[in-house]
Amino acid sequence: MRAVGIDRLTDAAGIHQLRLPAPECGADQVVLAVEAVAVNHVDTFVRSGVYATELEFPVAVGRDAVGTIEAVGASVTGLQVGQRAWTNSLGFAGRPGATAERVAVDAEQAYLLPPDVDPVTAAAALHPCTTAVLAVQRQGNLQPGESIYIAGGAGQVGSAAIVLAVARGARVLASASADDAGYCRGLGAQTVLDYRDPDLVPRLLQAVPDGIDVHIDTAGHNDLAAAVKLAAPRGRIVLLAGPTTEAVLPVGQLYMRDASLRGFAISNATVGELADAAATVNMLLASGVWTPRQVSLGSFDDAGWAHARLESGQNRGTRIVLRPAP
């Protein structure tokens, strides 16, 4: 079976073509004929060892895949051969990677794709949508009527978070470039400020004098001094990006506001948390209310290029999706 992956922890140049055995379908698994695979920053963390996890070499890279079910295990219910499904749990924790012609997936981590949703669009949306759901709903525990500030609102995760927060009846504030302000407002953000504005923090406080209930920095700058200053009593600051960031935390201000700091990595989400998030992701996909702004399409053989592009910072605003060769 053709695949693209690694023999060891390596840089992007170490990604190459592999010949792997065709997967066997376990009793609690399905086998997907892969149609589309997304390339995410977290894939580069796994490949390089920045995110430490069990890998069985050689292993295909990638975690998010959309494909058609070719085989169903004897114990599996609710999934059938010929249905299109997706998963976002491959390529780490000892599981095979996504960038292969076929892959065995635990049925509890395979979700049916809504009818008429394009597999490329779905693959591009899975990671940012799931991350946004976990940040807004689980970690942020955003409630109707609360305020939320989304730094990096025009990005993939940030824009999905705006849509989710609006749907939950929150007051949504975001920062973005001046060119992207209209995009964020179009998604429903009531207040959009230029992230380059030296008076950003005072302007946010002016907009929400009582403080911000949920603060999500999707850009990974992690200015904790500003985040704590902006926090409402019992505010929640959610960290999800910037793995090498080192920040100063005003501890006294944090605890005297009963505020909390919550970090999470999607790789640590439980099966139940991912299944709950998948239901929301599927609703977004089916409704079309949010899709990635731009998708760059390539083949499996472009995986090395895609990893290098993400690591160089040259791929802002665009999702990369790879498809198998004909």
Composition of the chain by helix, strand, coil, percent to 5: 35, 25, 40
Band of residue 128 on the pLDDT scale cut at 50, 70, 90: very high
Q: What is the DSSP string of 132-162?
A: HHIIIIIIS---TT-EEEEETTTSHHHHHHH
Band of residue 315 on the pLDDT scale cut at 50, 70, 90: confident
Instruction: Evaluate the CA torsion angle 286, 288, 293, 299 in order and state its sign.
Output: positive
Task: Extract long-range pairs of 265-270: CB within 8 Å, 24+ residues apart.
Answer: 265/42, 265/51, 265/240, 266/42, 266/88, 266/127, 266/130, 266/131, 266/134, 267/42, 267/51, 267/53, 267/92, 267/93, 269/134
For 77, other C-beta atoms within 10 Å of its C-beta total 7
- Residue 33 is given by DSSP the state E
Domains of the chain with CATH codes: 2-113+294-323 (3.90.180.10), 133-266 (3.40.50.720)
Strand pairing partners for 208?
Answer: none
* Of residues 314 and 56, more confidently modeled: 56
Q: Outline where the chain has alpha helix (H).
A: 41-48, 119-133, 156-167, 181-187, 200-207, 224-230, 251-256, 271-287, 303-312
pLDDT (0 to 100) of residue 271: 96
Q: Which of 69, 92, 80, 97 is nearest to 2 (CA)?
A: 97
Band of residue 88 on the pLDDT scale cut at 50, 70, 90: very high
Band of residue 309 on the pLDDT scale cut at 50, 70, 90: very high
- With a cut of 90, say whether residue 7 has pLDDT above it: yes
CA atoms within 13 A on the CB side of 18: 26
- Cα-Cα-Cα-Cα torsion 290, 296, 300, 304, nearest 10 degrees, comes to -110
Cα-flanking dihedrals φ and ψ of residue 303, to 5°?
A: -60, -45
The structure's pTM equals: 0.94
pLDDT (0 to 100) of residue 118: 96
- ∠ at Cα 138 (136, 143), nearest 5°? 60
Strand pairing partners for 237?
Answer: 215, 261
Task: Give CA–CA dist 147/213, Å, rounded.
Answer: 5
Band of residue 180 on the pLDDT scale cut at 50, 70, 90: very high
